[in-house]
Structure 1
Amino acid sequence: MSEDEPTGDENDDGAGADPAELEAIREDLDAVESDLGGIEDDLEDAETEDDLDVVEADLESVRTDLETVEIPDPPETDDEDEDEDEDDEPAPEEELQDRYDDLESDLDDLGDDLEDQRGPYAEDVVSEIDGVSGTITGTRWTVEGDEELIEATDSFLAGLNDLLGSSVSTADDLEPASGAELGESGAQEGNVPETLDATLDDATEAVEDADLDPDDDAEIIAGLLEATDDFESEVDEATEWTDLEVREQLRREGFYDVLDHVKDFPPEWHALKVHEKRGNVDQILLAYDSLGSEFMEEHCLESLERMGPEEAIEPMVQKAGRRDEAAIRILGKIGVAEEQVVDALVDYVDSNPDLQKPAFRALGEIGAEEAVEPLAQQLVADNPDVRSWAARALGLIGDTRAIEPLSDVLEDDDEDRVRASAAWALSQIGTKTALEIVTEYEDDRAYLVQAEADRVDLSEEPAA
């Protein structure tokens, strides 16, 4: 052989990897996929932390196996041939890389599911108690607030002692400062927060001393977490010094007029519920604008979402502009396709999935025809969830311009659940053309698509 002749190892013709090598890679990926299926079953059957430890070890082993698989680069093509090859089947190396990526994603998802299934742990209880304690010491309270903190702490400790068999309690002589003991500003200057902080240190020590096992003592830990959540809510509701100014404003605006009395603190949540029942949107918006509490803001938004009042459009458009999911949902419930509403929602059509989901739904609920084109563009998004949400939003809008792109999804999409969403959307559009497209899939490979086709009733003449 002359020095100029190529050796058998050289690959200057861009023909790609050796078929035998590709087949070996496929077998490796098949093995990883099979192992993942077994691990998924083991995770579903896991009942103890030891079981989960075994699953975690198996996941790491499979991850190591996957990381040893090396996918060769696809053969290079001449730039002038790229346009001609756009419709060609992907190279085997590209298919293998896609499969590798899917398996890697499945591994991550199983890891997340594993972590979700763990616990809860005693450390979670200690962390929650420390958080409440920090709120108590980091806030300036009124006399009423001190009274409410003592009552809330006593209630929490009673539950903790019942679960642990401990005897932690507040000092018998602990009382809020009297009016004469207030500071120059009128704010509470007593020692209640500091004393409660020390008492809660005793509570966390009792939890740690109990040496709770996440398996054997799961019910006790769950009970402690529930008690801690209730404790946190009661502390959030306790009267801060800064609340007084806000409450005076609300009182002058008649917010508390729906209550028989305002001696019990805090009355805001109770008043909010009454105003919701009576449809007093202006009072709910007043509370939303005035109260600085995250707790009350959350409940104001929940009330507005249940009511869907048009009076809330302006503030919810502003809040939606700050990437707030609750405000986006509320705009959908209001259901008015004003230009400012549609513009605010369309801004999130090409966003992250956390914002896309409520935005798509809201656009569908308000029937925003201006959103048909940007939503249709999301039918080819990489994320199948996004494609499915976009299809259903288009179905809710019901614009016939969506028939063709939805038909393409039904015919070509790789995910059957996305295809089923497209079939549902075409049925919602409900024209003769749309329904006839769906009926062509009565014998589809996917049950979800078949089910949507079976629901179509052409006995009644649909619109053309």
Structure 2
Amino acid sequence: MSNGDDESADATADGEVDAEPEGAEDADDNADGETEANDGEELADVEEFESRLDAVEADLEDAETETDLDAVEADVGAVEADLEDAEFPVPEPEGGEDDETDDDEEPEDPKEPLEARVSDLRDGIEDRRGPYGEDVQSAAGGAAGTIRDTRWTRDGEPAVSEAVSTFLDTSGDELDVEFAADSEEIDALADSVDTVGGTAADGRLDADDDAETIAALLTAVDDLESALEEAEEWGDLEIAEQLTREGFYDRLTAENRKDFPPELGVVRIAEAENDPERILLALEYLDSDFMQENCLDALRRLGPEEALEPVQALAKRRDVPAVEVLGKIGDERAVDMLLDFVDSGNPPLQKATIRALGEIGSEEASQEIANVLADDEPAVRSVAARGLGLIGDTRAIEPLSDRLADEEEADEVRASAAWALVQIGTERALAAAAEYDDDRAYTVQVEAKKARKATA
């Protein structure tokens, strides 16, 4: 009988091997310089990709025309496509079993730095492209927007006109086209600058063949923008100078110059002459709390329709005096905005808002105000009742009657409810108020007697 060692020895002696030792196939592959993935596909070579990318970078550096850049971009695309399909060997963690390493730290994927280089190449190609006629159009459009959107002074407008004229002449020489503005008006000047941009972008300019022309046009736009920066615009003036040029101080004379600051005197004169425009100028330009307060006081007394938009802009910031002015103006366009403040939880703002809605008189606000009859603050409930009376909506009769009938309600609120019923003035409303002509509260009795007299 022989053991396994004898059989192994005999097989070796005869020169026959029944099976390769474990790992022999890998050893042969490594000897031939080939590495295969688990699925049999050949693994990618990082150095090969790096070499290809080095070559593309060199080509990009040497590129001079759009055609050269197109070729470089095609090469980048080929590398990127191959990189997407490539499988790389999985890196082994550094260090041995005895090394203290972070178990959560994964080795860097070899594909990531290659992808980063591809991305950098694409950015580099875009940086090298152009400029194009479309770039002239974009730059000219920006300058035209500056011309339109800026408020120029009387001295600034001629400077803008001269700058545009120079730009049109230069651009016309470069493009062999005659450009001219239709008039000296600001919009016409801006339109003419846009026309130059549109002409440059209509396909007549080639990025390679007409590179010098495109560069000259971009320089002309830069010169135009520099000239626009030098032209005097409204914001360059001091506030007093702006107001002077607006004619704000024209009505101020030695005889009527009684107040300090003089702007207060102008506001008071404007109010006396029913001239809201000057008051609105002061409201726009003078941001001191003192002048804002005096301007709003004057507008509240005048209640001019012209003040709606600027005052509404202030009221949106929960400015109570501005809300009060909206009530005096009485324009229903303010109702939607004011309704947001009715149940704000801010009693001063609520009271001002409800009064304003009552003065405007829109029945659209009736339900929102009626809801406030249950507010925690008696003063707010009282103003809500009076607001409903000012509006005069008959749907408010029932909730007002309920307030009046509530013996636990504050007399201030009950008196306001009785007043509101009298203001509504229908037979049903007057009858509901007249029942309380012997009420415990004198203020309620007064309104009840008015109602009874009206129904007699």
Question: What's the TM-score, normalizing by structure 1?
Answer: 0.45
Question: What's the TM-score, normalizing by structure 2?
Answer: 0.45
* Structure with max Cα Rg: 2
Which protein, 1 or 2, shows the higher relative CO under an 8 Å CA cutoff with sep ≥ 6? 1
